[in-house]
């Protein structure tokens, strides 16, 4: 494999990408251990109130991109800050849906975005047109713990299992002159631990791990968020999300790290 001058060989995972993914793996594993310990049914755990409740949460993720791509015989780094991403994106939509019934829940978390530009700087100012979609759907169960003393009023533990499906479609003209047609589907395991600090504020940590099948070799998603409840039906949230993925197919290797602030509103009834 040869390199584009000044580029990085991606036939093996770079040290930086490996280190970042290892940190995310440890965070995800630690959160899952906490979930398994706290979520185990015992006398201290009380189920959330029975009944149906629907939750819709559109959000905006202002993400930075740090990617390393090996496309056939060439390799290219792609680094973009939030401003760069916004300058290339033609559309974007993000949202989370959840249906709570008794102690169980079904959920869907999806992102869709499209880029269309005549001059994509990371690809030597070649034209780029691409559409990206990823959605995780799954089932989980809630466990509610009330410590009884201390600053935390209650802890909600919500492990889940799911399926992650994604696709990347488009084309690059010029230097690479190639069609982009990638898709992947894999199982996910994850969960959320959230603590009610008072009647209005709740702090939560959500982690997701995938990469058990398909070309997606490793995927981690970690979100730390603070939610402020405005009313019984409306809440505002702010947080920071880090996602990391490694995808391989044929002679293509893609390492992607995303990170940035997240802002959303939660509507429930």
The predicted model scores a pTM of 0.82
CA distance 18 to 244: 10
Candidate ranges 74-83, 107-116, 163-172, 183-192; pick with highest mean pLDDT: 107-116
Least confident of 129-133, 213-217, 234-238: 213-217
What pLDDT is recorded for position 139? 97
CATH code of residue 44: 2.40.128.100
Instruction: Residue 43: give the domain boundaries.
Output: 15-268
Residue 176 maps to a domain? yes
Please report whether residue 2 resides in a domain. Answer: no
Is residue 5, in this structure, part of any structural domain at all?
no
Query: Is residue 8 included in any domain, yes or no?
Result: no
1 belongs to a structural domain = no
Mean pLDDT of the chain: 80
- φ/ψ of residue 20, rounded to 5: -60, -45
Confidence label for 68 from pLDDT (cuts 50, 70 and 90): confident
Residue whose tokens read 């530009």: 117
Residues near 47 by Cβ (< 8 Å), separated by ≥ 6?
Answer: 102, 103, 142, 143, 144
Residue 6 within any structural domain of the chain: no
Q: What angle do CA 139, 140, 143 make, to 5 degrees?
A: 165
Q: Which two tokens stand for residue 104?
A: 């169980």
**38 pLDDT exceeds 90?**
no
Number of domains in the chain: 1
10 occurs within a structural domain = no
Q: Is residue 4 part of a domain?
A: no
Whether the Cβ atoms of residue 160 and residue 167 lie closer than 8 Å to each other: no
């Amino acid at each position: 494999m040869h390199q584009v001058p000044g580029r990085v060989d991606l036939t093996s995972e770079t040290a930086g990408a490996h280190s970042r993914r290892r940190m995310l793996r440890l965070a995800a594993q630690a959160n899952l251990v906490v979930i398994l310990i706290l979520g185990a049914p015992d006398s201290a755990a009380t189920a959330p109130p029975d009944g149906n409740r629907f939750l819709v949460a559109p959000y905006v993720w202002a993400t930075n991109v740090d990617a390393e791509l090996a496309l056939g015989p060439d390799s290219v780094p792609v680094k973009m800050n939030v401003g760069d991403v916004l300058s290339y994106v033609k559309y974007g939509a993000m949202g989370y849906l959840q249906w709570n019934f008794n102690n169980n829940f079904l959920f869907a978390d999806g992102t869709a975005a499209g880029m269309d530009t005549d001059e994509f700087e990371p690809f030597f100012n070649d034209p780029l047109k691409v559409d990206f979609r990823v959605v995780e759907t799954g089932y989980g169960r809630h466990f509610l713990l009330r410590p009884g003393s201390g600053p935390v009023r209650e802890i909600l533990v919500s492990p889940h299992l799911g399926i992650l499906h994604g696709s990347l479609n488009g084309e690059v003209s010029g230097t690479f002159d190639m069609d982009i047609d990638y898709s992947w589907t894999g199982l996910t395991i994850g969960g959320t631990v959230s603590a009610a600090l008072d009647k209005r504020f709740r702090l939560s940590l959500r982690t997701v791990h995938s990469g058990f099948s398909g070309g997606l070799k490793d995927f981690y998603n970690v979100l730390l968020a603070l939610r402020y409840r405005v009313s019984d039906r409306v809440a505002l949230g702010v947080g920071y999300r880090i996602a990391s993925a490694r995808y391989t197919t044929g002679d293509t290797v893609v390492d992607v790290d995303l990170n940035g602030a997240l802002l959303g509103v939660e509507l429930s009834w």
